Chain A
């Protein structure tokens, strides 16, 4: 039996980039050991994303209301759970994440027995490094994460993440809302899932807008700090 991989792509108004993201996944050369399926979660986009998706070779899940990135990714994980996928990998719809790294992430996870593998921009410091303000924010989240868990995660906000089946089953029902990445890391820690990082070169976005504007970044910082602290206090079954 080949291992099945669901590539979970949350997409909100990504008409400019979604086709090339899917295309990149389609062009991956896979051995017969793997079966890959792109799963796009259209988060109630107001542009032509839905129209474009209809013509693309992917599973398209259309959310009836806008749930934000967390709710969209969670829907993808629910899909992966429903159809019993072996791996789910989250890839942004804006083309920042290099699809050719997917197999590498899976090998890394299998070899090192990691349940979750994060593609990190900062392990090697190559490729797109984001703006200064954001780098500061990410360093701050890494610091909080280390304070709470003792783990060192260099890129705690990276949305390029692989989950194996164990991780999918454990988190699909409790995946956090809104800005979920740093919070999810705390949940993985509390669930005793093994988390590893692999260096990845990212690109700057090819289209669309970031889900976090500069104005909202202060709110983001506060919200995530609170969420991380409270999640670490919460009992997670």
Chain B
């Protein structure tokens, strides 16, 4: 194994450990962790399997193998960012509904309190 491979494997493993830690601490939900685990898995495979990149470059007819890495990585990042925007939009509409319901309930509670106070 080359030096860079060892470094790559170590970094990937550290990353995987950190994801595990986040899940255990409840800071990352499993559904979002899946994609990170898969990505790390892919990184690990290519760190160990040096010829892998050339193999896929050959298969797809890419002249410079590193270009595959950039293209694939950027594409994956864009898709994931889009997914996150969808998640944020969903959250926003949910918090909006919550805020509105709370406000209406608070108002109702206030009137009820006032009514019962005036009856006393």
Contact = CB atoms under 8 A, between A and B. Distances in A.
A224 interface: no
Give the contact-size bracket for chain B. Answer: 10 to 19
A82 B111 CA distance: 14
A63 B107 contact: no
Interface in B82-107: 95-96, 99-100, 102-104, 106-107
A103 interface: no
A61 interface: yes
Nearest to B106: A62
A71 B104 contact: no
A87 B117 CA distance: 30
Contacts of A60: 107
Contacts of B106: 61-62
Interface in A27-82: 41, 59-65, 67, 71, 74-75, 78-79, 82
A201 interface: no
Interface string B68-83: 0000000000000000
B99 A61 contact: no
B104 A61 contact: yes
Contacts of B102: 64
Contacts of B104: 61, 75, 78-79, 82
A65 B97 CA distance: 11
Contacts of A63: 99-100, 103
A67 B107 contact: no
11 contacts: A41-B103, A59-B111, A60-B107, A62-B103, A62-B107, A63-B103, A67-B96, A67-B100, A71-B99, A78-B100, A177-B96
Interface of A: 41, 59-65, 67, 71, 74-75, 78-79, 82, 177
Interface of B: 95-96, 99-100, 102-104, 106-107, 111
